[in-house]
Homo-oligomer: A and B are copies of this chain.
Amino acid sequence: MAGAAMAETAATQAAERPLVSVDVVLFTLGGPVRQGRPGLQVLLARRARPPFAGCWALPGCFVGPTESLEVAAHRAIRHLTTARGIYLEQLYTFGEPDRDPRGRVITIGYYALVRADQVQFPAAPAGAEAECAAWFPADALPPLAFDHDYIIGYARWRLRNKIEYTDIAFQVLPDRFSLTHLRQVYEAVLGETLDKRNFNRKVLSSGLLVETGAVQGGQAHRPARLYAFVRRQPGGTIAPVAPGQAAPRQHDHDAGKD
């Protein structure tokens, strides 16, 4: 809420108002193939300014006075990525008073799983301290600024949970993909090997995939069939909703349990 207890006005001194930032944990799949699958990677930016100058940190920025949190989060990665339409999900808000040495900074974390080719790095300015960005294996992160290692750890934990009951895995896949590709996404996020037969049966019976008829070319050996992800058709449900029985309320943030 706002203002029931404290008599705070717009004239409040700046020192009493915390700074508000957003930090984005972008995950992708890539790197060397280990255990038959690529690894989970995290996008980090090298800080050009103190505090923690030269240190790696999550992409982030302060929230503008009339800017929504989602817009700020997109702005934080816009100078690194070309693709629009990345679906960012709010992670958590970190507000411990001592988490930033400059003073009180509250940060709202966002995260997403994206295709690596959606994120392109501009030519890095010269200089050892220059700001630049790179993917790092989630299992071998460099020392990080602030509490960003904790934020990333929490984001990984959420991603592991969310991938079980949301569509989040499809965000990292191209329009057409093989079942093996899809399974590798799950394996990389979950950190474990999945049974191919059980996995295929499950995703095919979910009704979320359609066979495109195309097959994967270029590889040696047997080509894989390619599938496409089909969203639940908006308004095209077979069973009509009973009158008087309101459709479950939609919350555009957080499509699953959490």
Chain A interface residues toward B at CB < 8 A: 1-8, 10-21, 23, 45, 47-49, 51, 57-69, 75-76, 79, 90, 92-93, 95-97, 100, 102-108, 131, 145-146, 148, 153-154, 157-158, 161-162, 164-165, 249, 251, 253-254, 256-258
> Which of chain B's residues have a CB closer than 8 A to the CB of A20?
17-18, 20, 95, 106
Nearest opposing residue in chain B for A100, CB measure: B2
Q: How many whole Å from A208's CB to the nearest CB in chain B?
A: 20
Q: How many whole Å from A162's CB to the nearest CB in chain B?
A: 8
Identical chains in the assembly: 2
Name, among A3, A10, A49, A75, the residue most crowded by chain B CB atoms within 10 Å (CB to CB). A3
Q: Complex Cα distance A161/B249, Å? A: 13
Cβ–Cβ contact B19 & A251, under 8 A: no
Cβ–Cβ contact A1 & B14, under 8 A: no
Cβ–Cβ contact B2 & A21, under 8 A: yes
> Which of chain B's residues have a CB closer than 8 A to the CB of A1?
21, 23, 57-61, 107, 145-146, 148
Cβ–Cβ contact A146 & B2, under 8 A: yes
Cβ–Cβ contact A57 & B4, under 8 A: yes
> Which of chain B's residues have a CB closer than 8 A to the CB of A48?
4
Name, among A65, A105, A146, A256, the residue most crowded by chain B CB atoms within 10 Å (CB to CB). A65
> Which of chain B's residues have a CB closer than 8 A to the CB of A14?
10-14, 17
Q: Please name 6 pairs of A and B residues whose Cβ atoms are closer than 8 Å in the assembled complex, sorted by A.
A: A2-B21, A2-B146, A3-B49, A5-B79, A63-B106, A161-B257
